[in-house]
Amino acid sequence: MMGKVTLVGAGPGDPGLLTLRGLEAMREADVVVFDRLVSGEILQLIPNSVRRVNVGKESGNHPVPQGEINRILLDEALAGNNVVRLKGGDPFLFGRGGEELELLARSGVAFEVVPGITSALAAPAYAGIPVTHRDYCNGVHVVTAHAGEGKAPQLDFATLARLGGTLVFLMGSTAIARLAAGLIDAGMSAETPAAVVEHGTRPNQRKTLAALSDFAKGGTFESPAILVVGAVCELSRDFDWFSALPLKGRRVAVTRSAELLGRLSAMLRRLGAEVVAIPCIETEYLTPELPDFAEYEWLAFTSPTGVRAFAKLLESSGRDVRAIAALRLAAVGAATARELYDSLRVRADYVPERFNSDSLADGLAALGASRILHVGAESGSPHFSTLPVYRTITLSVDAELGTLDCVCFTGASTVRGFADSYGDVTTLRAACIGASTAAEAELRGFRNIAIAADATLESLCDAVTTLLKE
Ligand code: SAH
């Protein structure tokens, strides 16, 4: 059977700006054909089982010619594949989406178009520039200054200078000076406020605000970048929320197991950080014999992973949640309690006020609880006997880590995995959940360590922010 092509706009870079339909299409795909403007964070959302074809090697490294891309899409669909063509921003706004559909339409291949958030609007938004504002202008014009191979762009500067609305130029970053000079030569005031936004919506976004004449003098800018020209650029002085984020410009490493990286990474990213994912541990689920639950009164869970592993164990033992129907349940914290509900649809009977295992033990003792079985990691608990449902394996990291501002650790095992791979950590700052994690970090040579006030990811993020404020 013939496949289908879905043309998906990936947005400008921030994975939060990908549409739900775009994500769904990526997850249903057999193959994703992507180019250079699609951010690494978006590419990470493609399931591992999906084949990837990169048609946009770095410029200079000969990107695949357009005709050949069109051909790849056609051949893949004819071979019966569900093809996603992933493009930066919106596929139809200077994205050659139209060109890519021509051959498919002629060949009778089914296709769908999923619009994306264009960089022309998103980069200004992330720089606090409303592209229109009733007090400043009555329109916005999006112009490309990209030319065909080897040709200079033919822009009618006289008309552009007269339009009066905000101008947004999409172009190679080397064209900025020429565009600014062209507009001034055509009569636009040299004082007109303008802005360049490089790497828009990405952690390394950089905004430069200046008069048009300053840009005409030249400057070094990295691609991708847009040039915005018009009075609304002035509003960025008050509205640039993105530059003001507490972790803007910081590189923060997260070291949890790959399956748990998502939430912490997203939280740090919302604070402006560039997040480097270094999974230092992996969880292996264990399949011990189920105990006789009638011997116990309480089950104590000390991590969401423990809950998930226990749910799997019940399932693989051919049992279900009724096996523990007569027991009372304790959870070390809110996330563990939430996981009890998500995985097993049961509620925790007890959660201590402070989310740590000492408080859990003290709280249960205060309730007069006895016959308590801890359900958790093989390494056990200092307070209770343990049903081991998972084991943590330390992974060695071979990725190039570069310069980091801070590393987040949620357990001692991640510290060991990281320190073993990284070598000298004395210059790095560490943010830790739990005193034992921090102790391990100190043992491994970290000098600058912050401990989260609570054993929650929110609290860990606060610790990172405080640590990097100095
Ligand atoms: N279809 C895309 C644009 C493709 S043309 C869209 O809708 O965004 C390529 C140009 O888009 C680049 O040269 C640059 O000017 C702009 N661009 C794309 N992504 C960008 C980003 N994250 N930040 C700033 N400019 C970007």
Q: Is there a single domain that holds both residue 182 and residue 273?
A: no
Residue where a domain terminates, one of 84, 117, 150: 117
- At residue 448 the predicted structure's pLDDT band, cuts being 50, 70 and 90, is very high
How far does the centroid of ligand 1 lie from the alpha carbon of residue 183, in Å? Answer: 21
CA of 276 to the centre of ligand 1 (A): 24
Ligand 1: residue of 90, 170, 171 to mutate (most ligand atoms within 8 A of CB) is 170
Three-class SS state of 62: coil
pLDDT score recorded for residue 427: 87
For ligand 1, atom 5, name the residue with the nearest CA.
94
Instruction: Tell me, in angstroms, the distance from the centre of ligand 1 to residue 97's CA.
Output: 14
Question: Measured from the CA of 13, which atom of ligand 1 is nearest?
Answer: 22
User: What does the pLDDT read at residue 58?
Assistant: 54
**Which residues does a 6 A CB cutoff place in the pocket of ligand 1?**
12-13, 37, 88-90, 93-95, 118-120, 123, 170-172, 197, 199-202, 223-226
Catalytic machinery residues = 35, 57
Place of tokens 């899409």: 73
Domain with 302, as residue range(s), is 294-393
pLDDT at 394: 81
Nearest to 307 by CA among 283, 272, 279, 276: 283
pLDDT (tens digit per residue) in 103-145: 999 999 999 999 999 999 999 999 999 999 999 998 999 999 8
Residue 246 inside a domain? The answer is no
The domain tally of the chain equals 4
In which region does residue 330 sit, left (phi positive, over 0), alpha (psi from -120 to 50) or beta (all else)?
A: beta
Is 405 in the same domain as 302? no
Which ligand 1 atom is nearest residue 119's CA?
8
As a whole number of angstroms, the distance between CA 310 and CA 308 comes to: 5
Residues 132 and 268 in one domain: no
Atom of ligand 1 nearest to the CA of 200: 23
Nearest Cα residue to 264 out of 256, 281, 272: 256
Whether residue 405 is found in the same domain as residue 389? no
Amino acid at 213: S
- What are the percentages of helix, strand and coil residues in the chain, rounded to 5? 35, 20, 40
Q: Is 287 a member of any domain?
A: no
In a domain, 244, yes or no: no
**Ligand 1 pocket check: which of 119, 174, 201, 226 to mutate, most ligand atoms within 8 Å of Cβ?**
119
Place of tokens 């590393």: 407
Residue 187 confidence class, pLDDT cut points 50, 70, 90 = very high
196, two tokens: 């360049």
Last residue of a domain, one of 373, 393, 413: 393
User: Is 349 within a domain?
Assistant: yes
- The answer to the question of residue 289 being in a domain is no
Reported as a single tens digit per residue, the pLDDT across 275-292 is 888 888 888 999 999 999
User: Ligand 1 atom 6: the closest Cα is on which residue?
Assistant: 89
Both 378 and 428 in one domain: the answer is no
Lowest mean pLDDT among 89-103, 238-252, 401-415: 401-415
Q: Is residue 245 one of the residues assigned to a domain?
A: no
CATH of the domain at 125: 3.30.950.10
DSSP 345-408: S---SB--SS-SHHHHHHHHHHTT--SEEEEEETT--SSSEEEEEEEEEE----S-----SEEE
Q: Chain-wide mean pLDDT for the chain?
A: 92
Task: Report the percentage of the chain scoring pLDDT > 70.
Answer: 96
pLDDT (0 to 100) of residue 57: 64
Q: What does the chain come to in residues?
A: 470
> Which of 13, 14, 44 is CA-nearest to residue 27?
44
Q: What is the CATH number of the domain that holds 99?
A: 3.40.1010.10
Q: How far apart are CA 59 and CA 458, in angstroms?
A: 40
Sheet holding 406-409, edge to edge: 274-277, 251-254, 406-409, 429-432, 448-451
Answer yes or no: do 50 and 106 share one domain: yes
Q: Look-up: residue for tokens 């404020």? A: 469
- Under a CB-based contact definition with an 8 Å cutoff, are residues 60 and 80 in contact? no
Lowest-confidence region among 34-43, 232-241, 343-352, 442-451? 34-43
pLDDT for 307-342, tens place per residue? 999 999 999 999 999 999 999 999 999 989 999 999
Assign residue 449 the CATH number of its domain: 3.40.50.10090
Residue 282: what pLDDT? 84
DSSP per-residue letters across 235-287:
GHHHH-TTTTSTTTT-EEEE-S-GGGHHHHHHHHHHTTPEEEE---EEEEE--
363 in the same domain as 445: no
338 in a domain, yes or no? yes
Q: Pairing state of beta strands 206-211 and 193-198?
A: antiparallel
Q: Are 123 and 243 in contact (CB under 8 A)?
A: no
Distance CA 184, CA 167 (A): 13
pLDDT of residue 17: 95
Task: Give the model's pLDDT for residue 350.
Answer: 97
Q: Is the peptide bond before 15 cis (omega within 30 degrees of 0)?
A: no
Does residue 310 sit in the same domain as residue 379? yes
Helix H or strand E encompassing 229: strand 225-229
Residue 386 shares a structural domain with residue 300: yes
Specify the long-range contacts of residues 205-213, CB closer than 8 Å, at least 24 apart: 205/123, 205/126, 205/127, 205/242, 205/243, 207/127, 207/236, 207/240, 207/243, 209/233, 209/236, 209/237, 212/180, 212/183, 212/184, 212/188, 213/180, 213/184
Nearest alpha carbon, ligand 1 atom 21: 200
Predicted local confidence at residue 361, as pLDDT: 95
Q: Per-residue pLDDT averaged across 169-196, rounded?
A: 94
Average pLDDT over residues 212-241: 96
Regarding whether 420 and 386 lie in a shared domain, the answer is no
Same domain, 171 and 312: no
Residues 280 and 414: beta-carbon distance below 8 Å: yes
Residue 8 has pLDDT above 60, yes or no: yes
C-alpha of residue 265 to centroid of ligand 1, in Å: 25
Of the three residues 117, 137, 153, the one that is the final residue of a domain is: 117
Distance (Å) from CA 170 to ligand 1 centroid: 6
What's the CA gap between 437 and 450, in Å, rounded? 11
pLDDT of residue 40: 85
Q: Can you give the C-alpha Rg of the chain in angstroms?
A: 27
Whole-angstrom Cα distance, residue 329 to residue 346?
A: 9
Same domain, 97 and 142: no
Average pLDDT estimate for 3-17? 96
Q: What is the pLDDT of residues 378-410, one digit of tens each?
A: 988 889 999 999 998 887 776 666 788 999 998
Share of the chain above pLDDT 90, in %: 74
Could you report the per-residue pLDDT of 250-276, keeping only the tens digit for each?
Answer: 999 998 766 667 889 889 999 999 888
State the pLDDT at residue 64: 87
pLDDT digits (tens, 9 = 90+) for 20-78: 999 999 999 999 999 988 988 899 889 989 999 999 865 556 778 899 999 999 999 99
